[in-house]
A and B are shown apart, each in its own frame.
Chain A
Amino acid sequence: MKNKHIYILIAFLATVAAACCLFSLGIDSRVYAESAEGSDEQTVDDSVDDLLDNLDLKGVQGIIATLSSNQLEVFGFGDIVSRIKAVISGEYENDFGSVITYVLALLGADIFEFLPMLIGCLAIVLAYSIVNSVKGRFASDAIEKVVYFAFGTLAVSLVVGYFSAVMATAVKYVTSIKTQINTIAPVLITLMTAAGASASAGVYSPSIAILGSGMTNVIIYIAFPALIMALVFDIIGSVSSGIKLDKTSDFFRSACKWFLGTAFFIFVAVIGVSGITASVRDGISVRAARFAVSKYVPVIGGYLSQGFDFVMAGNVLIKNALGSSAVILIILCAAPVLTKLAVFTLTLKLTAAISEPLGGDRLSGIMTSISKSSSVIAAVVAAMTFLYILFLSIVIGTGNIGL
């Protein structure tokens, strides 16, 4: 159990670290803009405006349209083009304070959402405890089992209802990540190609397919069903004394963790190494091209170079601004799911903790078992978010060539 929390904590810290890196990259992009502005401010702005006019951002706008009013408030803009322009010009800065306020508001709402479950479960445990103490020694062992089965089924039905809602939110979120990757990544790859980082674009294209299709499918069609199965076995094992399935559910959870952990590790290793080499190759090829241009045309080389600089700088600035906006988007989409899972898991643990002294040892065991599955789901969701943010940070970090 402690390990799971450590994994979630590591994933969360890594996500925050990646986000910090991205915010710093966002600041870098403004530095580039300022340095370019030093030479000819109007031309760079015009170049960015022209490029944005020709770039198809309808898909990204469609994702923004799905945000709630609270999420839009944190995002800052209802229009992606305005946000990109504001980030590039330095007029808008990502505000951590509003993100934290938004997360705290979500936590409050989630606590109220799961409060009826806590009260309901405690009422069932209390009723079970009272019935158990009242029946005394007159009731047979069979009746005791029937009473436990009835109360256990009632408590499980209540918790499973909430669990299904949380699970549906997690599945919806993973599907939305898939949509975001398949919408935003092609635009980023287009901008990288336009900026001359065609080798990096070639390397990242298969990674997008793996991340946007393979990984999400593994989670939706293998990991989540395995976790549901683990939950079912946990419930069977807790309610039924005839068949013990605790170890089977442990196997499912463990297999899920190992499988996803290995897949995530391989993905991060491949994208990290190939991304770095491709980025270096792009940098060298672009510098070689510019050197060739200035060498063969010494008189007007500067004119050519400047023309390219505006196009390339514009593309890179848009890529970085879009990338940082994508990070904010995914954080805004992940926050409600992660807080919901966290509050649900903690509520179950709290219910188990309060139930134990009330005499509901076995019911407390059911709650603990269900909380194990929900914490693994939280770990999967956090890891998938981390992978996407990592991918975005690598894409933003590479391809800043020729600036």
Chain B
Amino acid sequence: MCGIAGLFDQNGEPADAGALAGMIHTLNYRGPDGHGVQTDGAAGLAHARLSIIDVAGGTQPMSDVDANLSITFNGEIFNYLELRQELILRGYRFATRSDTEVILQMYADKGVDCVRHFNGQWAFAIWDRRKRQLFLSRDRMGVRPLFYTQVNGKFLFASEVKALFNYPGVSRELDLEGLDQIFSFWVTVPPKTVFRNIYQLPPGHSMLVTQDAIRVFPHWSLEYAPADDRSDAFAERKSEELLDLLRDAVRIRLRSDVPVGAYLSGGIDSTIITSLAKQVIDDRLRTFSVSFEDAEFDESAYQRRASEFLCTDHASVHCGYDTIGDVFPDVVWHAEQPILRTAPAPLYVLSKLVRESGFKVVLTGEGADEVLGGYDIFKEAKIRRFWGVNLDSRWRPMLLRRLYPYMQNVQNQSDVYLKNFFAVSPEALGDPFFSHLPRWELTGKLKMFFSEDVKSQLKTSDVYRELRSTLPRDYGAWPSFCQAEYLEASGLLPGYILSSQGDRMAMAHSVEGRYPFLDYRVVEFGAKLPPWLKMKVLSQKHLLRRAAHGLVPQEVIARPKQPYRAPDGKSLFGGRQRDYVERLLAPERIGRDGVFDPQAVGMLVKKFRAGRAISTKDNMALVGILSTQLVLEKFLREFKPTEVCANAEKH
């Protein structure tokens, strides 16, 4: 796992090696094991390395024997050994044992279609000297990030936005439409980001940059084609297939020249992954988890049970309100976008523990909820639809109370308010975003805190129209359950789960996450499963539970779903006073920064101080406003190019 950066001057001017060194220097934490910069006329590549495979030979940027192709690569191609063997049989020769060289040779052999053969998580750029073109690609699910921009005829790319900002002349402005999207969906809709003129390559896409043009195109797409079979024999067969696939997905994700550990959250997803890893690793497996001061969020009892069951060498880090409040500014610096919950913070603390324990690589259970039907929002949509068929029913809405047993607000509502909140109406049933409307509408209410100026600038913005324009052609024909899964897997997963909670929090401490559930074979398998195997009546991840017997403790299989959450307001306003909270939420500062309304924010802060702010909405508003203010401070107002860049000539 690494950091990458580079440029192609479309005017033909020579690439500035010093500026490239500055860009990559900002990503030092992504790759502390070595830096490299390589220029070839108008093109330049830079790399910060975290050595994991072929520690001795995998230095980057790497070129082929004839120096016609050069690559800078962040990620892993897990099936590189098989691909390498195929290439050798066809006459290719290799100078290293690295997966990086396999990408280069695959590109030499198959051109831009090479990525269709990769099983992995990647963001890379290949400079093709003969064709004078830069080829960039990002993995199918968006595990690894890749951002780009253009300035003064130069095309620039990097693993993180801050590296782009480090290049001289790149402007740093907030993109209000991107902000509007985050305050609706929690994420921006790719290629948009929250910064103006800074774009992200969407997951499953590649791009070609030549002197005259930039072309972005898909190399993979998520398509649902659920089988229509309700037999138990079919379920049994699928259960075995799932286990076989997961076993292989874990096996190839253990390929590493450094030890691999695992996150153990106490849920079924990470436990089954750890269990399968144990079958491959001879040594006692190291596992890691986070525990919470607040019992409402703590899962340590299940973590201990899973660790005992699997005989792992387990370490846990305790996360209190103060810890979250203390690290929050660093979390936003790494997330590089406003976030609406503090949930990334404990993962930031956890990756520190992993790194301090001497580990660079961890397996996690991320992705199971999206691929195999685990989220409450799927259940919620199913019940809402069920209710929508007979809106006068007295007992159908009672099912909604079973949805969120841990949320007092939902439990205490009368039917009429539940119906209102969960947006069950004949019109809503036909909406392509039916499953997600309550969540998005609730989030959208946070925009009441925007300043009059921002509201006026966003008057014509329509976030739903933007999102609708990105939906696949066949979306309307998919079962509603699959539509909901698609919205999660293509939106929140890459834009928040894998970035703000995943790549960014792990890489902040030079740790690489690997996700067996996001092996594309598992994802495609999941997309062909009938919805009843994902959610049987209201039992989530039905097939996974079935497959997990014997591999996961029964208590973990049977436990009620507990979504991963962390305390918000209490972490920022409970306990001791924090300078940055006071500074960034002060009325004069809010007014000067201009994004939010000082009076409204003042009232919200007053409510928190009085201990009255308990709702999800208020907590999201506080975290969203504070993180936006941190983004403004760290990336716009006070961003300082690194010394390497400021003194580029010396390098």
Check if A and B associate.
no
Residues of A within 8 A of B (CB): none
